[in-house]
Structure formats: structure tokens, C-alpha cells
């Protein structure tokens, strides 16, 4: 215990020294307000978690995982959802697969949740990565037919949505080893594309890492390397997506201080801040026992966040009992998030559902408010009607780009006006993404041409 206390104090002091005094005064007030708002029907860990909406009511969804036994027999396909207003949980249909699995990931695009990958543990202890793409409709509260299998079976991967249109599946574990592959799923066409792989080394290849996409940049952090004892990683990797061709990704990384590392954390962003919540500082198997044979692993009880703009900086808060063994977070909006399940102290699998509210108003840091600079109507629009595009009311130059769902630019304009009319007759019927850039502000919105 004394050693653990010393290390915790060392981390706090180190982070204070890393920040300038101006940052210290401004940042220390930023906190998550954490409250337990309900429980899942059963305790579950290593479950894929995502948000969804029905008639403007937000729900938290949980798919598959391992129960309180932390055993091979306790790995299941159970699905649940929790009403964020009432805390009431209900049991949904099981994931449509042949046997239980863990380490999948879930993302929502529109009204459909996509649960991708994961791995099965066989009775003989061997592990098999999954190639399944399960699709769940939040509106019918039921599973749709499975999507097209992912080309390379994957688990414990990084999964994030770009431009509300494409799901990026980055690195992860495939049956016997880490892989550098980037696999991109188009939910509208039910197709897969191959993105530029990460460099084929342990600075990038990872399992148990987590990340997000902010603008056109992929960020993922932590995880485990495929080497002796699966050592925990402390690299922040960045993938710069070419918006004109989303399969074209340029990779870079930076090494965070050695005290900043993590495994199976939840990842979300609040504006331009990326938060890695919970997790552990050691790697472990699904039973919570360390790969290096040192015994049970404990949560790090940490919010580690990174500012992506201006003078990029890291901040660490040790203030809440966040679980470890997390495979996702329900992001209801920019400052309201939910965690469901995971492992608490002593590798205890929990059924708790946590609400996290970010109090950015408590800080004096100059933050860019989410000003609306784009709205389109009518949506859907018919080819023989005009699409009206309302922009911010100033004389600044705005760059408009319209993308087809395969990432190609089909229209590109610049204007200083606050209103622009697009004639959809030049477009084929289908779904498009319009992107407006005004200075350092970027917004995107989908629209449909009938």
C-alpha cells in the first residue's frame, strides 16, 4: 500500500509540473459529476456499450460480455438497455451469434447500432476472433440481419465513427497476434474498404487500446503490445484522414510520460478534449488476472484527458472510482456520458450504470462553444427542389464540400454569404455529407436526395 500511495502522489506531482501555472489555475476546476443512475439486469464486464435514442429519449445499450464468474462459461451474448431518465433496465434479445463473446465494440450511426468483432473462448481455453457485424435497430428494438463480415476477424480493437458515416476499425487482435490493419465499414452500402494500415510495429499495433475521431483525426491511446507478458503501452497514435479519400490515412505518434498508460479504458471527447476514463495500468486476461503473473489487477480510478488544440497538454484527475475492463461509452451529447458494467476493485464485476456530466462552465479556460454554422432543409430533398443551406451570420469565408458516401467530393464551393442554395439535380439519388469549414470551426450534416 505505501508504494501504491507514493506512485499516486508521484503521478499527481508530475502532472502539475508538466503544466504551466496558468493552466493549473484554469484546469483544476474541470470535473466530471458522477452519479449512479441505475443497474443492468446482471453484472457484466468487457461488454460493448453504446448510446441510442427513441423519440428523443436516450438509452444506454450493452451487448455481450462476461458475468460475475469471470469464467469461460460466464461469457455470454446477452443484451440490455437502460432508460437514462428512469434508470429502468430491460433485457433485449441475445446477440445473433453461435456462442458468447467479449471484447467487441459498438457504435451508432443514425438509428442503428453496429456491434463489430470480439472473441469467443472455447471450452479448451483457445480463443477465436469474430468476423461478425451485428446490426441493432433502436427504433424496432430488435436485431436486423447481420452486416457483411469484417474481412479480418478482430477483437479488442479501436472503433470510431468518422463524419457520422464511416466506422473505422483500427488495429486490434486477430486470433494469434496484433494486426496493423485499418478496416472501414460503410453502413449505408454494407461494404468494407481497406484503409492505410498503421506502421507494423509495437508503437502502433495494439489490443485493448481505445480512441475516438475528432474532426479528421484519429486518436487512440494505451493498450497492450504483442510481446512477452503483453506490456501496457503509453503511446498516443494519430491518424490524419484525408477527407477527400478516407482510406488515405497518415500515421504519427507521440510518447506520453511513462506514468501515463492504460488498458481497456473508455474513450470519449468533450469538444476538443479527449478523455480516457477508467481502465487499468496493467494488462490482464478476462478474469482480471495480470498477464505477467503478478495477480489481480486493480482499476486506476483515473480520468486522463488530452487537449487537441492550441498548446496540446495532458491532465490527470484521480477523483472517481471508475471501472476497468471497459469496451465503450454511451455518449448522449458533448458533456453527458454513461458507463455501464466493468470491473471495480478486487476484480469485482459490476452492474452499476454511471452518469458522467462534464462541468466545463466551472472553468475559466477559454473554450470554443459549439456555435451552429450549418443547417440544411428540406431533408430529404427531391432532385427537382432546392436544398437550402443556412450558414453563420457573418462575412467570414466558408468552404462548402459535399461528399458521397465513398468519400469523394462531388461539390466544392466557397462563399462569404450566410445562405446558399444547392440544386440537387446535379446529384444522383442517395445519401451525402455536407461539410462546412469556417476558420477553425468545422461542422458536418448528412442529407438525402430522393
Query: What pLDDT, in 10s, does the model give residues 294-340?
Result: 999 999 999 988 888 765 667 778 777 899 999 999 999 999 999 99
Q: For 426-440, how does the pLDDT look when each residue is reduced to its tens digit (9 = 90+)? A: 888 887 878 888 876
Supply the pLDDT for residue 442: 67
Residues 6 or more apart whose Cβ sits within 8 Å of residue 3: none
Highest mean pLDDT among 152-161, 304-313, 360-369: 152-161
Supply the pLDDT for residue 310: 61
* Residue pointed to by grid coordinates 493552466: 23
Strand order in the sheet with 374-377: 374-377, 387-391, 419-422
CB 380 within 8 A of CB 448: yes
Supply the pLDDT for residue 403: 79
Helix (H, G, I), strand (E, B) or coil at 447: strand
Backbone angles phi, psi at 5, to 5 degrees: -65, -40
CB 95 within 8 A of CB 39: no
Alpha carbon distance 128, 123 (integer Å): 11
Provide the grid cell at 340: 455501464
Mean of the per-residue pLDDT values of the chain: 87
Per cent of the chain over pLDDT 70 is 87
Instruction: Cis check for the bond before 34: say yes or no (omega within 30 of 0).
Output: no
- Distances, alpha carbon 358 to alpha carbons 113, 338, 351, 355, in Å: 25, 11, 23, 10
Residue 328: closest CA among 318, 340, 336: 340
| Residue 5, pLDDT above cutoff 70 | no
Supply the pLDDT for residue 31: 76
* Residue pointed to by grid coordinates 502532472: 15
Structural domains in the chain, CATH included, are 2-362 (2.120.10.80), 374-449 (2.60.40.3080)
- Distances, alpha carbon 46 to alpha carbons 156, 244, 285, 340, 341, in Å: 9, 35, 11, 10, 8
Average pLDDT over residues 156-178: 97
Predicted structure pTM score: 0.77
Lowest mean pLDDT among 3-12, 175-184, 418-427: 3-12
* Residue pointed to by grid coordinates 487512440: 220
| Residue 392, pLDDT above cutoff 90 | no
| Residue 402, pLDDT above cutoff 60 | yes
Lowest mean pLDDT among 4-13, 29-38, 139-148: 4-13
| Residue 242, pLDDT above cutoff 80 | yes
443 beta partners: 436
* 238 vs 439 pLDDT, higher one: 238
Residues 6 or more apart whose Cβ sits within 8 Å of residue 229: 283, 291, 292, 293
Average pLDDT over residues 56-74: 97
Alpha carbon distance 96, 117 (integer Å): 13
CB 177 within 8 A of CB 235: no
CB 394 within 8 A of CB 350: no
Supply the pLDDT for residue 264: 98
Average pLDDT over residues 166-184: 97
What band does 419 get if pLDDT is binned at 50, 70 and 90?
confident
CB 186 within 8 A of CB 194: no
CB 306 within 8 A of CB 314: yes
Helix (H, G, I), strand (E, B) or coil at 177: strand
Supply the pLDDT for residue 232: 94
For the chain, the residue count is: 450
Strand order in the sheet with 32-39: 32-39, 352-358, 336-340, 330-333
| Residue 449, pLDDT above cutoff 60 | yes
Amino acid at each position: 500500500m505505501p508504494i501504491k500511495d507514493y506512485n499516486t502522489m508521484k503521478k499527481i506531482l508530475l502532472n502539475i509540473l508538466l503544466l504551466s501555472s496558468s493552466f493549473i489555475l484554469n484546469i483544476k476546476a474541470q470535473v466530471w459529476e458522477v452519479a449512479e443512475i441505475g443497474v443492468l439486469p446482471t453484472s457484466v464486464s468487457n461488454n460493448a456499450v453504446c448510446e441510442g435514442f427513441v423519440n428523443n429519449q436516450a438509452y444506454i445499450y450493452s451487448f455481450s460480455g462476461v458475468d460475475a464468474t469471470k469464467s469461460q462459461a460466464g461469457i455470454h451474448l446477452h443484451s440490455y438497455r437502460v432508460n437514462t431518465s428512469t434508470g429502468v433496465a430491460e433485457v433485449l434479445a441475445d446477440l445473433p451469434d453461435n456462442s458468447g463473446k467479449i471484447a467487441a465494440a459498438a457504435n451508432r450511426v443514425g438509428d442503428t447500432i453496429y456491434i463489430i468483432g470480439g472473441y469467443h473462448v472455447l471450452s479448451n481455453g483457445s480463443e477465436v476472433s469474430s468476423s461478425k457485424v451485428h446490426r441493432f435497430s433502436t427504433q424496432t428494438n430488435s436485431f436486423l440481419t447481420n452486416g457483411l463480415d469484417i474481412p479480418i476477424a478482430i477483437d479488442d480493437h479501436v472503433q470510431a465513427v468518422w463524419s457520422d458515416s464511416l466506422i473505422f476499425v483500427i488495429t486490434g487482435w486477430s486470433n494469434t497476434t496484433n494486426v496493423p490493419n485499418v478496416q472501414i465499414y460503410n453502413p449505408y452500402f454494407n461494404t468494407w474498404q481497406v484503409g492505410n494500415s498503421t506502421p507494423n510495429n509495437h508503437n502502433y499495433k495494439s489490443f485493448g487500446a481505445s480512441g475516438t475521431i475528432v474532426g479528421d483525426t484519429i486518436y487512440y491511446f494505451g493498450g497492450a503490445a504483442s510481446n512477452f507478458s503483453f506490456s501496457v503501452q503509453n503511446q498516443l497514435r494519430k491518424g490524419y484522414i484525408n477527407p477527400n479519400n478516407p482510406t488515405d490515412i497518415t500515421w504519427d505518434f507521440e510518447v506520453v510520460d511513462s506514468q501515463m498508460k492504460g488498458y481497456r479504458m473508455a474513450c470519449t471527447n468533450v469538444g476538443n478534449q479527449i478523455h480516457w476514463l477508467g481502465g487499468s495500468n496493467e494488462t490482464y486476461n478476462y478474469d482480471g488476472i495480470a498477464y505477467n503473473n503478478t495477480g489481480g489487477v486493480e482499476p486506476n480510478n483515473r480520468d486522463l484527458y488530452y487537449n487537441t488544440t492550441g498548446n496540446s497538454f495532458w491532465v490527470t484527475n484521480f477523483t472517481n472510482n471508475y471501472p476497468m475492463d471497459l469496451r465503450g461509452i454511451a455518449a448522449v451529447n458533448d458533456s453527458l456520458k454513461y458507463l455501464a458494467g466493468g470491473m471495480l476493485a478486487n476484480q469485482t464485476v459490476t452492474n452499476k450504470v454511471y452518469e458522467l456530466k462534464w462541468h466545463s462552465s466551472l472553468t475559466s479556460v477559454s473554450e470554443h462553444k459549439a456555435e451552429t454554422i450549418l443547417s440544411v432543409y428540406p431533408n430529404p430533398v427531391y432532385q427537382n427542389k432546392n436544398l437550402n443551406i443556412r450558414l453563420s451570420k457573418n462575412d467570414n469565408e466558408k468552404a462548402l464540400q459535399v461528399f458521397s458516401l465513398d468519400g469523394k467530393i462531388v461539390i466544392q464551393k466557397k462563399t462569404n454569404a450566410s445562405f446558399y442554395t444547392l440544386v440537387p439535380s446535379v446529384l444522383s439519388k442517395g445519401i451525402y455529407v455536407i461539410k462546412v469549414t469556417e476558420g477553425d470551426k468545422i461542422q458536418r450534416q448528412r442529407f438525402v436526395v430522393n
